[in-house]
Structure 1
Amino acid sequence: MSHSIRTQFQPTHLQPPAPKGFAHINRYWDKQQGVYAAKILPGEFYISTGGEMIVTVLGSCISACVRDKYKGVGGMNHFMLPVQRENMEMGALSALSESARYGNWAMEYLINEVLKNGGEKRNLEVKVFGGGKVLESMNKIDIGKKNIDFVHQFIENESLQLIAEDVGGLYPRKVLYFPDTGSVKVRKLKTIRNDVVFERERTYERVINTKPAQGDIELFD
């Protein structure tokens, strides 16, 4: 293999600094895409102003990709509405307002960070992914569907522009988002073990069900 071919797998420029407050996010050079990337897990979000790609894997969780279409600043979140264990066994959701607080927090916090970094609300565009029914055991409580309904209602309430989505279905998704251009690559993970993704989301659910909400966040004008 020649040197010119090898160098396409090496960084061609220095990694941009992490935005303030995001030093904990896993950031790395993605050889396949030839770009610096930030990988987010359930309960995390990230914004980019320097041409980074944002990556996540979704089961029943939702990721919203939000950006200012003129300035190229944007980000992605990854949230799942929390469900109390005893109510899952009864086949019903309770404390829906408590669940919506977490989804609402994830959406509003992401939008606020985009606006803080130069975006304008009137220029925001949104793409939504996830909300799958990844296991048969979720038939009684379709958390993915509730997540989809929530994010659609949030977008409508905030008068945001939803320009694309890939939601529902039976398979997990890997999502690659490029905030500077708005491009998204989605791959259905038909060969991955669904229980791995499901257990990852269940672990996150157990954590957030034991922690208090972080308070309300209002959108900037």
Structure 2
Amino acid sequence: MKSIFLYPGHAYVTNEPTTITTVLGSCVAVALFCPEKKIGGLNHFLLPRPMEENDSSLKYGCNAINYLSKKLQAELRGESCKIEAKFYGGGNIIGANIFKESVGELNVEMAFMELEKLKIPVIDYNVGGNLSRKIKFITNTFEVFHEFVE
């Protein structure tokens, strides 16, 4: 099975069985999956939204989630599928607060909002806390293994 490490500000979608690994602190990783076609993808974003309207960087949740959804749809080549989501991270690791909320909390809120807009159901999530997480996503089974790291 192919194996890749996903860096912050990136996303990866594939129809080949692949293990995608990443490490999250206040960042969030969203996994999307088509159960009928066994196609999956993962993103890793750092912040909820850009300060400038025309910034399309994948380091922002609003961009990264939409990009991941579009890439998965492209892999489906016009076939319909009931895409599902799981997401992880959003810890209060560095104590960075914006507007009385931690960056992690804002990232989690962004993930819920964007997935709701896209009408993609969230079937599992593990967020918050004060520890980092290591995520391992198996793209063809939708298994996500996560462990806390200090």
If the length of structure 2 is used for normalisation, what is the TM-score?
A: 0.86
Aligned equivalents of 1:130 and 1:163: distance in 2?
15
Aligned equivalents of 2:126 and 2:90: distance in 1?
9
Structure 1's 176 and 96: CA in aligned 2 closer, same or farther, altered over 3 A? same
Structure 1's 82 and 103: CA in aligned 2 closer, same or farther, altered over 3 A? closer
Cα distance per residue 1:137-166 (max 9 Å; x no partner): 425550000000111011111111100001
What residue ranges of structure 2 are gaps of 5+ in the alignment? none
One-letter amino acid matched to 1:142: S
Cα deviation, residue 69, structure 1: 1.1
Aligned equivalents of 2:54 and 2:101: distance in 1?
17
Name which one, 1 or 2, has greater alpha-carbon Rg.
1
What does 1:173-188 correspond to in 2, within 5 Å? 173-188=133-148
One-letter amino acid matched to 2:143: S
CA contact 2:40–2:139 (8 Å) conserved in 1: yes
Higher relative contact order by CA 8 Å / sep ≥ 6: 1 or 2?
2
CA contact 1:63–1:128 (8 Å) conserved in 2: yes
Cα deviation, residue 58, structure 1: 0.4
Structure 1 or 2: larger helix share? 1
- Residue number in structure 1 paired with 2:23: 57
Cα RMSD (Å) of the superposition?
2.5
CA contact 2:11–2:68 (8 Å) conserved in 1: yes
CA contact 1:40–1:56 (8 Å) conserved in 2: yes
Aligned equivalents of 2:3 and 2:148: distance in 1?
20
If the length of structure 1 is used for normalisation, what is the TM-score?
A: 0.59
What residue ranges of structure 1 are gaps of 5+ in the alignment? 1-34, 85-94, 191-221
Structure 1's 143 and 113: CA in aligned 2 closer, same or farther, altered over 3 A? same
| Count, aligned residues | 145
Structure 1's 121 and 104: CA in aligned 2 closer, same or farther, altered over 3 A? farther
Please tell me whether residue 113 in structure 1 is matched to residue 113 in structure 2.
no
Structure 1 or 2: larger strand share? 2
- Residue number in structure 2 paired with 1:132: 91
One-letter amino acid matched to 1:155: L
